[in-house]
């Protein structure tokens, strides 16, 4: 298949490497001179406009950072959907508002473009290993058409309903993960007040009923929860902002998750930590 790729960064680059290794031809959107040199060194075709990147593609991948960037590169007269050929498919990986996924799908209908809302869970190491988790909101036929491409870097690939549901699952998942980190922060604080070192606690609780993915991530890393916040705090803060906005717009109550997200353990230790070290 011919691929258009928008966003060959930290997550996108290893995806692109898997796709091209599987024999798919790709055109990559690059706007910086150093990125162009890297694309040429990798033997990739590149373009400096969205339209030129996507016009010949059977499938277009979007792996940018923010909801605003998704709308900018996909919608409007200069966006991907307007430039893509009829019957092509847009795969949107960026964490964003479910309403944006719906906007893309609605815009695509008028041009015969299929949209696959493929929210992801994992990091670059998971992409490299081919074990990225995908929650896919899409028509079953659209997913089946792109599944062989997604399988080059993702497993499991989990259908979760219509377009928008991939993002809904991702936002709830991320809110839960950050809330769990907040609980780990307070668990470490409690342990310290009882005279128990952080690493002793984390190593022990990993094998108990109180364990969680968040605790495991902290326990496996160096520097504890503070180091994780330094590394991923910006992304977590972005995701928490989006889930709060989506819940508010939907009139949904975040409940105890919202309480934990507003606690000092999350706001000051997890989310604000990244801002203060930059």
Spell out the long-range contacts of 34-43 with Cβ–Cβ below 8 A and sequence spacing 24 or more: 35/8, 39/8
Let me know the angle formed at the C-alpha of 252 by 251 and 253, rounded to the nearest 5 degrees.
Answer: 125
Q: Nearest CA to 144 among 74, 89, 101, 85?
A: 89
Question: For residues 8 and 5, what is the distance between their CA atoms, to the nearest angstrom?
Answer: 7
CB 60 within 8 A of CB 3: yes
Of the residues 114, 170, 238, 268, only one is catalytic, namely: 170
Residue 170 appears among annotated catalytic residues:
yes
Question: For residues 169 and 160, what is the distance between their CA atoms, to the nearest angstrom?
Answer: 8
Name the residues annotated as catalytic: 170
């Amino acid at each position: 298949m011919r691929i258009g790729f928008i966003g060959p960064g930290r997550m996108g680059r290893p995806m692109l490497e898997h796709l091209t290794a599987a024999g798919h031809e790709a055109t990559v959107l690059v706007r910086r001179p150093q990125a162009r040199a890297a694309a040429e060194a990798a033997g990739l075709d590149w373009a400096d406009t969205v339209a030129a990147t996507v016009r010949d593609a059977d499938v277009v991948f979007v792996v940018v950072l923010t909801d605003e960037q998704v709308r900018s590169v996909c919608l409007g007269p200069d966006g991907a959907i307007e430039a893509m050929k009829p019957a092509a498919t847009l795969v949107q990986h960026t964490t964003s508002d479910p309403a944006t996924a719906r906007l893309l799908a609605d815009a695509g209908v008028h041009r015969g473009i299929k949209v696959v809302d493929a929210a992801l869970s994992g990091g670059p190491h998971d992409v490299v290993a081919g074990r990225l988790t995908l929650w896919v909101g899409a028509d079953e036929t659209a997913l089946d058409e792109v599944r062989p491409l997604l399988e080059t870097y993702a497993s499991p690939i989990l259908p979760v309903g219509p377009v928008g549901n991939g993002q809904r699952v991702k936002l709830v998942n991320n809110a839960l993960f950050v809330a769990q980190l907040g609980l780990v922060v307070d668990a470490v604080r409690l342990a310290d007040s009882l005279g128990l070192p952080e690493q002793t606690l984390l190593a022990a609780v990993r094998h108990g009923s109180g364990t969680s993915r968040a605790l495991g991530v902290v326990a496996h890393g160096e520097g504890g929860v503070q180091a994780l916040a330094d590394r991923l705090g910006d992304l977590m803060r972005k995701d928490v902002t989006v889930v709060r906005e989506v819940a508010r717009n939907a009139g949904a109550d975040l409940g105890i998750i919202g309480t934990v997200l507003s606690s000092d353990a999350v706001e000051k230790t997890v989310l604000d930590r990244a801002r203060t070290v930059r």
